[in-house]
Structure 1
Amino acid sequence: MGKTTFAIRHGWDNRFWLAFVATSWLAIAMGFGTPIAERFAGKAPYVAPIILVAHVFVYFGWMVLLTTQALLINRGRTDWHRKLGVAGAMLAVLVSATGLGAEIYSQRYWAHTDPENVRFFTFPLYVLIAFSLCAFLAVRARRDPAAHKRLILLATSAIMGGPYQRWWGHAIDQVTGTGPFNTWAHLYTGMNVLMIVAAGYDLVTRGALHRIYRIAIPLLVAGQFATIAIWYSGWWPPLVRSVLGIPPV
């Protein structure tokens, strides 16, 4: 359906967004609650570097901003919503930059005890690339509310991959076993469920998928499959070690 005929607003939208925000906070609590508690209790495997601390604050800052923006729209304060959008653009850059730095540090640490862990680097790279692209396009589409909010949803769904795979991953492993399909399901089920729900909401409330979902969701899923292929390739581990300065095994 074209831009001129796709309904920008629906009476259920506020509740949908508040539900999305609430379930995102739940996923963070379930996925990151234990690691955060262990870190505060001094039981973490390594002392958090500054870049990791910064990433945690920026990540939570994004979620606080998302929550605030959803509440402002719920109250009809679109003027404040637009002003805070500037902060969202800056936070998106910081989420990507600190996330990459934190993951590089983590890879260098875990490589000493688990040489195969460098394969995992495909997942955070995918998350950061997907988030960055969707957030950038959301900023560009800020004058197109229907496109803007769907891109924000997709960007946030990407960075929800971490908490969901920590929360659901073990249960998924019990069903799918091991191998490429298991790796894909373990890492991306949470993000894909969010995208399916978002697409289903469009179909129920608008009778069609917005063009953003028609284009972005297949590309995001294709990117997931690409990361799994890279994960199981022979050239990826030595490349990661070379780029990150990790000694070869």
Structure 2
Amino acid sequence: MLAPDRERQELEKALRQHERRVERINDEIRELKNERGVHTTLLSLGGDEKLLGLLDRLRGDEDMAREALEGRGSFFEQHGVELPAGLQRVTGASTNDGIELRGVFCDDAGRDYEVVWNSRTGFDVDHPAVRDKASLNPDVVYKAERTQTSTDFWIIGTGFSGNGYVDLSIFMEPGRTVPWSQLGRTTADGNGYFKYFRRVPYLGGHDPQTRSPAFVGRDVTVDKPGLEEVPSYYWWPRL
């Protein structure tokens, strides 16, 4: 049986892990809400039949096209088309590929997105935040199983680049004199998920509690890490 003080310490460590996990979940919820707003704006533009009809008229009417380029956002208002409230500005240009109108809007985190309409190619609803994978949110958790001689860990990652490389390491591993212990490289599946096995043989003596280790998975594609702290007592046998 553990001493009451030690029990309280282990309880507090476990609660801190849950607290950090709640914070990360809240961050993920905010990120999903931001992403939902982006897709909602794109759906409202691409599904507005009045807007689509007006844009079709621009293809063959040079005078109206010039009016659109000069009036930009107000052009649509004058023709009875209500653009989404989040659309901050509309720019226009005449290019070798035809007339091009660009609408810029942003999510709640302040990141800019862009939707493009071209008189020859139509809508392009791609945007920089998708092309540079800024919406990725790598996350690492673990499962631990004790044996007589070791703790067996499964390091589990989600939210990584699909089919991308992940570099794994342990920060501040007990029993080491260096801050980083490299575990190797693994590959996430198409959904950005991986599972990696790590066996940690027990060290001698008792846990001095001088290190606060963490499993770290770095998404090589976007150079973005996910991490999860782990109690140092897993490196020592049970008392």
Question: Normalising by the residue count of structure 2, what TM-score does the alignment of the two structures yield?
Answer: 0.29
Query: RCO (CA 8 Å, sep 6+): is it higher in 1 or 2?
Result: 1
Write 1 or 2 for the structure with the bigger share of strand. 2
Question: Normalising by the residue count of structure 1, what TM-score does the alignment of the two structures yield?
Answer: 0.28
Write 1 or 2 for the structure with the bigger share of helix. 1
